[in-house]
Amino acid sequence: MSDNSQDILVHTEAGVCTITFNRADKKNSITEAMYAAMADALAQAEQDAAVRCVVFQGDMAIFSAGNDIGDFLQQSAGGAAPKPAADRPVWRFLRNIAGFPKPVIAAVCGPAVGIGTTLLLHCDLVYAGDNAAFSLPFVNLGLCPEAASSMLLPQMFGYHRAAEALLLGEPFMAEAALEVGLVNRVVPPGECNALAQAQARKLAAKPLSALIETKRLMKAGQAAQVAARMDEEGASFGRLMAGPAAREAFTAFMEKRKPDFSKC
C-alpha cells in the first residue's frame, strides 16, 4: 500500500516550489488525497512571498496516468456526481492551478493521461522528454473533458486537431505536442526535470510583481470563461459519470476486458 503522505512531494528552495508525483509504482495515478495535497501546496505557494515559481514534475518514465480508477470509483460510489461547486479536492486543485498568479512550469516524461495532460493547459512553460505521450481518453471512459480543456484545446490546437485528440482519445507524442504549442521544448528524458528547474530559477531571479502582472495581462479576460467552462464541464461530467457508458467503461476496466458501448 502506498504511503499517501509521500505520494506528492513538495519542496521549496531558492524561490521555486517543486511539486513531484511520487507514486511511480502506481504510474503516478492521482488519488483524492493527492489532489488535496497539490491544492494545498498551490494555495500555500500563492501566499508565500518567498515562492516565485512552481514546478510540476514526475520522473523519467512517467508523469501521470491520470485518475486512480479504484480511488475514483470509491469516491464516486453509487454513481454520485462530482459537483464543481463543492470543495472536493480535484475541483479545488483545478481552480487553484487555473487561477494561480505566479509562473507555473511542468516537466513531462512518459505518459501524461487525462488530467496529466489537461493540467498542462494551465502551466506557463512545459518541457517534455522525447518519451512523453499525451492522451485525453475521456470519451473512451464514457465521460467528457475537464479543466476547461474543451475550450482551451481548440484555442491552442485548432478545432480539428483538438477534435482528434478529444474524440478519439488516442495518444500523441512529444513532437506533435511541440508542433501544436502544448510544449515549449523537447529534450532527452534525463534532462527534462533539470531543464524545468533551470528555467524556474531564471524566473525566480526576476521581479515577482512584473511576472505576476505580465501573466495577468496575457490571461486577461480568460479567467471568467475558464471558470464557467470548468463548471459546465463538471456538471456534464457528473451526469455522464452516472450514465450507462461510464458504468460499462469502468466495469470493463476493473474486469480487464474491452468495453461494449453498443447499447450506450
Residue with cell 486577461: 220
Residue 176: all three cell numbers together: 506533435
pLDDT at residue number 83: 45
Per-residue pLDDT of the chain (264 residues; tens, 9 = 90+): 345 679 999 999 999 999 999 999 999 999 999 999 999 999 999 999 999 999 999 999 999 999 998 888 887 654 444 444 456 899 999 999 999 999 999 999 999 999 999 999 999 999 999 999 999 999 999 999 999 999 999 999 999 999 999 999 999 999 999 999 999 999 999 999 999 999 999 999 999 999 999 999 999 989 999 999 999 999 999 899 999 999 999 999 989 999 999 988
pLDDT at residue number 82: 46
Cβ atoms 72, 142 nearer than 8 A: no
pLDDT at residue number 5: 73
pLDDT at residue number 3: 53
In whole angstroms, what is the distance from residue 20 CA to residue 77 CA? 28
Strands 125-129 and 104-108, by their bridges, are: parallel
Is the model's pTM score more than 0.85? Answer: yes
Domains of the chain, start order: 4-188+206-254 (3.90.226.10)
pLDDT at residue number 4: 65
Per DSSP, the three-state class of 128 is strand
